[in-house]
Copies of this chain bind each other. A is one copy, B any other.
Amino acid sequence: MANPIDFYFDYSSPYGYIAAMKIDALAAKHGRSVNWKPILLGAVFKMTGAKPLTSLPLKGNYALIDIPRSARFHGLAYKHPSKFPIAGQAPSRAFYWVNARDPVLARQLARTLYQAFFVDDRDISSPEVTADVATTLGLKRDDVLAALNDPAVKEMLKNEVDAAIARGVFGSPYFVIDGEVFWGVDRFEQIERWLASGPF
């Protein structure tokens, strides 16, 4: 059985959103599964001194052109959120809470939350909004809100973020495949070659 793909992403990452909409199909085409791992890049940036792309001089303005163009290139809708960036605790905790019992539902939820943020301009950093989005997949609003405040769920996310930092994850989307690191949705071409024919 081929190794699964580890897929790290942050809920404030537009390129993470594009990757999230595409990675499962790409992996399945080559007989791979995907481990989804939402993380909090803010914690990483504190250590590396990096800043959100859209806040950088010149590159920030370019990003606001490149992001929607990259979404269109991949056939996806995109509307830059009116509040950006956001804190990813609520959607990330919701993911890990669901993932512990139903990984398929968890990644449906991950994609639905990304779309709520990057297509419908809903502020998923709010626990209430994350819970409302989750109800569209049959989850109960009060259960989600309770989970987001559950110390055990908070601990799951904290552990995943700590493990990602320990592994050197520094961006989103960030993939580890057979021990090889690929950063960015613009590495999909290289990932596809790797999956099709191995190391190059």
Residues on A close to B: CB < 8 A? 47-50, 56-59, 61-62, 65-66, 69-70, 72-73, 168, 170-171, 180-181, 183-184, 186-187, 189-190, 193, 200
Contact = CB atoms under 8 A, between A and B. Distances in A.
Contacts of A184: 186
A58 B186 contact: no
B200 A66 contact: no
A61 to B, nearest CB: 8
9 contacts: A48-B58, A50-B57, A59-B170, A61-B168, A66-B187, A69-B200, A73-B200, A184-B186, A186-B186
Contact of A66 (B69, B73, B183): B183
A48 to B, nearest CB: 4
A63 to B, nearest CB: 9
Contact of A57 (B49, B72, B73, B181): B49
Contact of A59 (B65, B72, B171): B171
A177 to B, nearest CB: 12
Nearest to A165: B58
Nearest to A65: B181
B50 A56 contact: yes
Contact of A47 (B57, B65, B200): B57
Contacts of A61: 168
Nearest to A57: B48
